[in-house]
Amino acid sequence: MKAAAVTTLLIAAGAWHAAAAAAQSHFEAVPSVTIGSIYDNNLFATQLHGDAGHMLAVRPGFGSAIDTPRLNLTSLFTFDSQHSNHQDLTMIDARRHADAKMLYRSTPETTLGLTAQYDRTEVPGEINLESGILGPRQQAYRWEVAPNFAHKVRQHTSVTGSYDYMAESLVENGSGRMQVVRAGLVQQHSTRTNFMANLQERHFADPSDVSNGSDSFALVGGWDYQLSTLSRISLQAGPRVSTYRGLQPEIAAGYTHATNHLIVGADYNHTETIVLGIRGPVVLDGGDANFTWPWRRTMEFSSHSAISRIDTLDAHRITSYRETIIGAWSPGGMYTFNASYAMDYQEGAILNSVFSNGNVLRHVFGVSVTVAPRYSHYIKTPDDPAARAKGVAQ
């Protein structure tokens, strides 16, 4: 979980005071099914020019949300079935994804949070979320659980804390674990400016070798500033010392701007993480930019660009460049039509835990239609004047 999540938690906690005033509960369920066609010119992502293939994919899913004056809970579950001209890639259970997020305002001063996510896939690059490293197709798993809290000790001062446990594994090709503990202090300097300080500790472990654990410690100071009602910028930086690399910087920066006509976001991180198929922690140096353009009321275009570089414990370097363009059309009701193009270019690769100097180039084209009926229900609670007027009992 990125350090910026602490600021998000505080903002969400503040927004709930307004929700409590409205005193209205909302329940929503969204079953869905997506049917799509995908063309991939490098199905196995192992060389510059690989085997091309076509896949027909069906993705059933179910999402739900509960929003009350004190509790916000969302969840999503999907799985993919696919048919391909490559027999080995035709399978009923090609991919699974499940996630849940919870925010609970236990008191006016205290907010508790929890995020959890599970992924299983035959394409490990899909769950190398931060690095985007490509690799050969093989069964991969990823678990992540992250409880957190924020407590306002004074009118403009809050303390925060979080614990993040992440486990990743490749079938017959190793696994990795990362645990992150953070404790922080947030000081509201003005209506637009927040200052923050965080102490964080990471522990990396290889379950197959209990003696191969390593640790790092970082002290990070930060600043968050609302440029306008539509824009926000943040910066956090500080020293990080580890048992395997010595002294290095820890940096996180972000910018967001949102209007009815354009949504822009950009992030930069110099940090450390784990990557499927690579031994031990890696240094990650990367940035990304997102643009969303609601062209018309029913049409939207978005772009995601990213560059990342990782340095391994074995002094190898992998650099990847990614671009994704998506167009969506929602004519109304429960239907959404999507078209997408994605390009990945990677310098260097890890094959069966062995570094290769070969480059990987991949183009993916996709079209799909999603059918997602939405069921919503609002309940007015006794705190609502309209509910009291109708004699709703507490």
Residue 28 lies in a domain: yes
Domain residues for the domain of 16 are 4-389
Residue 384 lies in a domain: yes
Rounded-to-integer distance, Cα 324 and Cα 362, Å: 12
Count of structural domains, the chain:
1
Q: What residues form DSSP beta bridges with 27? A: 66, 377
CATH number at residue 144: 2.40.160
Residue 311 lies in a domain: yes
pLDDT of res. 171: 76
Residue 56 lies in a domain: yes
Residue 29 lies in a domain: yes
The two three-digit tokens of residue 328, written as one number:
């969506």
In this structure, the number of other CB atoms found within 10 A of the CB of residue 189 comes to 12
Residue 394 lies in a domain: no
pLDDT of res. 2: 46
Our separate counts of H helices and E strands in the chain read 2, 19
pLDDT of res. 118: 95
Residue 374 lies in a domain: yes
Instruction: Convert 203-229 into a string of H (helix), E (strand) and C (coil).
Output: EEEECCEEEEEEEEEEEEEEEEECCCC
Rounded-to-integer distance, Cα 79 and Cα 92, Å: 9
Rounded-to-integer distance, Cα 31 and Cα 68, Å: 21
Residue 10 lies in a domain: yes
CB-based burial label for 98 (10 Å; 0-12, 13-18, 19+): middle
Q: What is the pLDDT along the chain (394 residues), one digit of tens a residue?
A: 444 443 444 344 444 444 444 467 899 999 999 999 999 988 877 666 667 889 999 999 999 999 999 999 999 999 999 998 888 888 898 899 999 999 999 999 999 999 999 999 888 777 776 777 877 778 889 999 999 999 999 989 999 999 999 998 887 667 889 999 999 999 999 999 999 999 999 999 866 555 567 899 999 999 999 998 899 999 999 999 998 888 999 999 999 999 888 999 999 999 999 888 787 788 999 999 999 999 888 999 999 999 999 998 888 899 999 999 999 999 988 999 999 999 999 988 776 666 777 788 889 999 999 999 999 988 765 544 444 444 433 3
pTM: 0.83
